[in-house]
Amino acid sequence: MDKTLKVYICLKHVSGIPDPPIFSKPVYEIDIRSGESRVENLTALANPASVRYSWEREGAAVPRDRWQARDDGSWRPDGGPLLTLNGARRSHTGWYRLTAGNGEGNTTVRVHVNVLYPPEVESISNISMVYPGEDGVIRCSVNANPMEDYMISWHREGFNLASDRVSTFTRNGTSYLTVHNATKEDIGEFLCRADNGVGQATATAALLVKRK
């Protein structure tokens, strides 16, 4: 909390001056790994201290004061300003608004829940079949959070991936490996690997060069 704001809140509290609720931050960023559980206390300071809370998720009101993430991915209100995540799932990711009010006024804070999960290879080119001299292209699509282009890499033992005939391009979770001017020596399997720090995933694809 900002020191100036902290001193202001303390003075208001000690002096007994009526004051609407104040949160320690304008925005709460909550990162949590898939499957983990956590309780976040978002209690606001106020005078009088009797505060009512209400939640909204992306514009949809939650009917009571506190909500809780259920195992099936839905949210259950349960009274109070605590954010309880039980077995966080991808569907819990999103923006929420918590409003606190007393007789002096209302204050709203935004809460962003970001569920991190390991990579999954959603699709890969099982076989790329070309004639000698053509370009062989293999595609690998990955879903993960976080997901950056550098997190996807290609591998093949004994094959020179740094060759001028080999190029890679990755964007938005999809990586392309191209073997230019393919020859029969290029025949074999290539490994697509994704690693985002939360976990890893791999899949293989084959390049075949036909006879003319």
DSSP secondary structure of 143-169: EEES--GGGEEEE-TT--TTSTTEEEE
pLDDT value at position 105? 93
CATH number 1.20.140.10 is the correct assignment for the domain at 3-117: no
pLDDT in 10s for each residue of the chain, 212 residues: 455 445 445 545 555 677 899 999 889 999 999 999 998 899 999 998 889 998 888 766 655 444 555 545 444 445 578 888 889 999 899 999 999 999 899 999 999 999 999 999 999 998 999 999 999 999 999 999 999 999 999 999 999 999 999 999 999 999 999 999 999 999 999 999 999 999 999 999 999 999 87
Ranges of CATH 2.60.40.10 domains, the chain: 3-117, 125-209
For residues 85 and 98, give the distance between their C-alpha atoms in angstroms, rounded to a whole number: 15
The model's pTM: 0.79
Instruction: Please enumerate in sequence order all residues whose Cβ is within 8 A of that of 92, keeping only pairs 6 or more positions apart, or say none.
Output: 69, 73, 85, 113, 115
Query: Residue 100 in contact with residue 28, Cβ under 8 Å?
Result: no
Structure tokens at 115: 């569920």
For residues 139 and 150, give the distance between their C-alpha atoms in angstroms, rounded to a whole number: 15
Q: How far is CA 28 from CA 9, 41, 78, in A?
A: 19, 11, 20
pLDDT value at position 170? 98
For residues 44 and 21, give the distance between their C-alpha atoms in angstroms, rounded to a whole number: 6
The amino acid sitting at 30 is I
125-209 CATH: 2.60.40.10
